[in-house]
Amino acid sequence: MVRARDRPAARAARRARGGLYAYFGDKERLFDAIFLSSLERLTNVVPIDAEDLAGWAVRLYDEYLRRPDLIRLATWTRLERRPAGHLVETHRHYDDRKLTAIAEAQAAGRVRAGDPFDIMAVVIAMSMAWSPVSNVYAAGRQEPDDVHDQRRALLRDCVHSATAAGRGDASPS
């Protein structure tokens, strides 16, 4: 039941929601717009550096700490909408720059051989080890800096070990 003092707010919320749905069509399209905007933001705020994939993973870790909502949106999309395959239909828009950068670093002998997509997926997965959707532990900004520093160092070392050229190179796909 809406109390008398809450009625103006409730009316405003209904009008705002109606305006949003009129613009986006429905809540599914509104969610898609928010999610794609979040992906675009993450791509721009944390651009890949194939010369330093370990540093990229650490910057992703830091962004997940700053914006845990980004990971939650991606997880919701994976669970409810796209349980298999690419997370978004427009994945090429988000992946092509990354894959090209990794392939160029591979050609220059700085990143191990293998499918650039698989290398990208491993680095991103490692960066999410302590994210809000971790099956083991979700890190938070309130934790001491030295704890985050230890995780960053471990993440940097693990990603470097996994992606460095000459480290158990798999044959290219």
- The Cβ-side half-sphere exposure at 165, using a 13 Å CA radius, reads 13
Q: Is the pLDDT of residue 4 over 80?
A: no
pLDDT grade for 39, boundaries at 50, 70 and 90:
confident
Q: With 70 as the cut, is the pLDDT of residue 171 above it?
A: no
Which of 7-16, 41-50, 98-107 is the most confident on average? Answer: 98-107
Provide the angle, in degrees to the nearest 10, between the axes of the packed helices 53-66 and 27-45: 130
Contact indicator for 123, 163 with CB cutoff of 8 Å: yes
- CA 47, distance to chain mean position in Å, is 11
Q: What span, in angstroms and rounded, lies between the C-alpha atoms of 91 and 24? A: 21
- Collapsing DSSP to helix, strand or coil, 110 comes out as coil
Q: Is the pLDDT of residue 55 over 70?
A: yes
Query: Which of 128, 138, 147 minimizes the C-alpha distance to 58?
Result: 128
What pLDDT does residue 9 have? 46
DSSP letters spanning 119-144:
HHHHHHHHHTTTSTT-SS----TTS-
Which residue ranges form the domains of the chain, and what is each CATH number? 34-163 (1.10.357.10)
Closest C-alpha to 87, from 73, 66, 97, 101:
73
Contact 99, 86 (CB under 8 A): no
110, 88 contact by CB (below 8 A): no
Confidence of residue 172 (pLDDT cuts 50, 70, 90): very low
Give the tens place of pLDDT for each residue, 92-119. 666 788 999 999 999 999 999 999 999 9
Residue at 161: amino acid letter: S
**Across-strand partners of 164?**
111
Closest CA to 38 of 84, 85, 3, 76: 76
Please tell me whether the overall predicted TM-score, pTM, comes out greater than 0.85 for this model.
no
